[in-house]
Amino acid sequence: MTAILALTSFQRHEIVRQLGRDFWAISGGKVGALRGGIDLPCGAGYSVKIELDASDTYVVSRVYRRSGVEHAHGVRTNIGCEELAEVAFRASCFRDYDDEEW
């Protein structure tokens, strides 16, 4: 298990900047603050959580919320900043290209 860091507002803005235009494709511009990152709502109860861990890489999770309870629908760890946008976009898709990936 990786240790998630507490982030500042500036660091959260940096995550959004690293996502680039994919940020708009994932959540339509909506973003929520988490202690260790950001939460991007995708619709139909799904969201993508992006958190910075202690090894300076990201943890990207696909989460489904129903009745206030979160269900993890896949997690990828050790994501570098150069691949963050692609992984986050893939997590936002309701159907994956590869069932094994998530």
What is the CATH classification number for the domain harbouring 84? 3.30.160
The predicted pLDDT at position 3 comes to 81
The predicted pLDDT at position 100 comes to 57
Q: Decide if 13 contacts 23 (C-beta within 8 A).
A: no
One-letter amino acid at 26 equals I
Task: Look at the chain and report how many structural domains it folds into.
Answer: 1
Domain region containing 57: 9-92
Is 81 a domain residue? Answer: yes
Is 26 a domain residue? Answer: yes
Residue 86 CB contacts under 8 Å (≥ 6 apart), including other chains: 22
- Residue ranges for the chain with pLDDT beneath 70: 1-2, 95-102
Is 44 a domain residue? Answer: yes
Strand partners, 62: 48
The predicted pLDDT at position 48 comes to 96
Is 100 a domain residue? Answer: no
Using only C-alpha atoms, the chain has a radius of gyration, in whole angstroms, of 13
User: Taking Cα atoms as reference points, which of 91, 94, 97, 57 lies closest to residue 74?
Assistant: 91
Is 99 a domain residue? Answer: no
Is 102 a domain residue? Answer: no
pTM above 0.85, yes or no: yes
